[in-house]
Amino acid sequence: MHQFLILGGDSRQVCLNRLLSQSGSSTCFYYDRPSSPFSLREAMEDSHIILCPVPFTKDGKTIFSENSLPGLEIQTFTACLKNTHILFGGNIPSAVRERCDLLSIPCHDFMKLEDVAWKNAVATAEGAVAEAISLSPVNLYRSRCLVTGYGRCAAILADRLKGMGARVTVAGRNASRLVPAHCLGYDTCLLKELGAVIGESDFIFNTIPSLVLDAALANQVQENAAVIDIASAPGGVDFQALERRNIRARLCPGLPGRCSPLSSALILYEAVMEYIRDSQTQ
């Protein structure tokens, strides 16, 4: 039987630990602040499959933990890796991947697994809708929604908004990337054309991790609009410019962990179990 080590993270890790325990797996779970000192080296020495969080890190120095746990320095973690380990995590840093390659350690980035990334996008999109509803004074039904970008999260988000009766405009840098959105019935525009449509939008959802809604565009946002930024760091919204105008706006990282931790943990659990099944048949 595999010994799992589950490190840090958010509520997804709590649910993942529960799912593994219910399946009969043995786990070592480091999520809450311990009553006695925690040794990462000892925990890794006794474990086979290591489950790091999504994202693996936020500061580039420590493994992400919403409880700011001590003893999760990435440098220490990489030094303790050995060739009997199997590593899972989300957006795993290059230094960790390179160490795994050097030691021939199987290294699986959840966000590079196509099925996981798409299922995770569903959780993100639904969380974005929930955030928008809680933030705005108007209904999504018959509202005008602007979605910037058209990757996985944006595509699913646009679909959910349309299903709730909203009129959706998708904006992107490249006209050819917007063709699928147009064929699905969305209005489309280029990012350089945002000035012509942003003032009509009741809801603005950004999914692009670079500055899109700058100070100039912020001045054109209507006063009752709600702005939701679900992009990866550093995001794409000038929140200070919106705050000066008292525009409702919210940066929403980690939506799967906050809005649907059990469903999101189940996605990760199924990916891990599939790997174990496949490895046993080889």
- The alpha carbon of residue 247 and the mean position of all alpha carbons in its chain are separated, in whole angstroms, by 25
Of residues 122, 109, 127, the one with CA closest to residue 254: 127
Q: Are both 93 and 143 inside the same structural domain?
A: no
Q: Name residues whose C-beta falls within 8 Å of residue 176's C-beta, 6 or more positions apart in sequence.
A: none
Spell out the per-residue pLDDT of the chain, length 282, in tens. Answer: 789 999 999 999 999 999 999 999 999 999 998 778 899 999 999 999 999 999 999 999 999 999 999 999 999 999 999 999 999 999 999 999 999 999 999 999 999 999 999 999 999 999 999 999 999 999 999 999 999 999 999 999 999 999 999 999 999 999 999 999 999 999 999 999 999 999 999 999 999 999 999 999 999 999 999 999 999 888 999 999 999 999 999 999 999 999 999 999 999 999 999 999 998 776
Q: Kindly state whether residues 145 and 57 are assigned to the same domain.
A: no
CATH number where 90 lies: 3.40.50.720
d(CA 79, CA 103): 11
Same domain, 68 and 139: no
Say if residue 79 is in the same domain as residue 124. no
Query: Both 108 and 120 in a single domain?
Result: no
Shared-domain flag, residues 158 and 237: yes
Average pLDDT, the chain: 96
User: Which tens digit of pLDDT belongs to each residue from 21-62?
Assistant: 999 999 999 999 877 889 999 999 999 999 999 999 999 999
What is the domain count for the chain?
2
State whether 82 and 143 are in the same domain. no
Do 150 and 68 lie in a common domain?
A: no
Coil vs helix vs strand at 18: helix
Q: How many helices (H) and strands (E) does the chain have?
A: 11, 11
Residue 15 CA to residue 29 CA, distance in Å, equals: 11
Say if residue 228 is in the same domain as residue 146. yes
Query: Which of 135, 134, 111, 112 shows the shortest CA–CA distance to 123?
Result: 111
Q: What is the span of the domain harbouring residue 17? A: 3-112+260-280
Statement to judge: residues 84 and 179 lie in one domain:
no
pLDDT at 232: 87
- Residue 182 to residue 179: CA distance in whole angstroms: 5
Give residue 36's pLDDT.
Answer: 80
CA atoms within 13 A on the CB side of 94: 0
Say if residue 144 is in the same domain as residue 56.
no
pLDDT of residue 82: 96
Q: What is the pLDDT of residue 281?
A: 76
Phi, psi values for residue 160, rounded to 5°: -65, -40
61 with 167, same domain: the answer is no
